[in-house]
Amino acid sequence: RRNSYEMCKETADWLRARTAQCPKTAIICGSGLGGLAEVLDNKTYIPGHQNPILVFGELNGQPCVCMQGRFHYYEGYSVGMVTFPIRVLFLLGVEVLIVTNAAGGLNPSFQVGDIMFIRDHISMFGLGGQNPLRGPNDERFGVRFPCMSDAYEQDLLSLAMESVQELGFVSFTREGVYCQLAGPSYETIAECRVLQALGADAVGMSTIPEVIVARHCGLRILGISLITNKVMMSYNSQEKANHEEVLRISVVRAEALQKLVTCLLGKLGESTNPL
Ligand SMILES: O=P(O)(O)O[C@@H]1C[C@H](O)[C@@H](CO)O1
Ligand code: HPA
């Protein structure tokens, strides 16, 4: 299995041989948000065999690692491969995971450009019977039946909200429920209506398998969705979801997100370091 303990350990050891940095926080950069990594100090770039590049460095004095890009299920990767980097990060000693993504807004009060902290998620994969933890459980990662009702940590959310207030970002910050579909096709109007009725505030194509695997191995998780478009709810709408628009809006908000994560890391450092 791609995310077996042995394979993850081999990659973690391989990375350790290439950098002496010991990040406590990892940031997964969603579509168009790879620029987050550029603000790190003392950067070490480690290109992967395939898509994502790992950038080790420091942000606001805190050791951290950014994953520029991710493995998406819609690209054809197995859920094992999609979640493999999470277990590698865990074996590297990461304790806090900040997952970011671009998502479509289902909540009618959301605007394009809003930042949504993920309060909870709806896994269409999980509901449909596909969970990244399916199969033999390896206790070295976590327990057989992990709790998910507390996957998104309240303390991290509170620190993130403090950062939002200090930065003056309140007017475009929300909280909500993220729902993941397989992609790569965007949702139909009928599907959007169903998701909204189910209680989802935003819809995307990533993140949840990563969160499940991260929660399983005890990582503290903060999820951030950038609302890059409003999904179509009416047959009269002339707009159409498209990836170029998603990337364009991500870039517009990239700087705000960088500031937010930088501020949050400073607070995390203060909260974990009594000095
Ligand atoms: O990696 P994320 O979830 O940010 O990417 C989103 C979902 C699709 O990959 C793409 C759709 O525009 O953006
Ligand atoms: O509208 C969307 N749907 C699914 N994934 C997305 N990622 C960005 N926008 C969207």
| Phi and psi angles of residue 105, each rounded to the nearest 5 degrees, phi first | -85, 125
Are the CB atoms for 164 and 233 separated by under 8 Å? no
The residue-averaged pLDDT of 129-153 equals 94
Q: What is the pLDDT, as a whole number, of residue 125?
A: 83
* Nearest listed ligand to the Cα of residue 228: 2
Active site residues: 31, 49, 72, 74-75, 102, 205-206, 229, 243
Are the CB atoms for 131 and 148 separated by under 8 Å? no
pLDDT digits (tens, 9 = 90+) for 189-217: 999 999 999 999 999 999 999 999 999 99
| Closest ligand 1 atom, residue 186 Cα | 11
State if residue 228 touches ligand 1 by the CB under 6 angstroms criterion.
no
ipTM attached to this prediction? 0.97
The residue-averaged pLDDT of 225-234 equals 91
Interval between CA 273 and ligand 1 midpoint (Å)? 35
Interval between CA 196 and ligand 2 midpoint (Å)? 14
**pLDDT above 70 (res 261):** yes
State if residue 205 touches ligand 1 by the CB under 6 angstroms criterion.
yes
The residue-averaged pLDDT of 269-273 equals 72
Interval between CA 14 and ligand 2 midpoint (Å)? 34
Probe residue for ligand 2, chosen from 187, 188, 239, 251 as the CB with the greatest number of ligand atoms within 8 Å: 187
pLDDT digits (tens, 9 = 90+) for 105-118: 999 999 999 999 99
State if residue 241 touches ligand 2 by the CB under 6 angstroms criterion.
yes
State if residue 105 touches ligand 2 by the CB under 6 angstroms criterion.
no
State if residue 246 touches ligand 1 by the CB under 6 angstroms criterion.
yes
Share of the chain above pLDDT 70, in %: 97
Interval between CA 2 and ligand 1 midpoint (Å)? 23
- Which residue's CA is the nearest one to ligand 2's atom 5? 204
Interval between CA 240 and ligand 2 midpoint (Å)? 11
Are the CB atoms for 122 and 177 separated by under 8 Å? yes
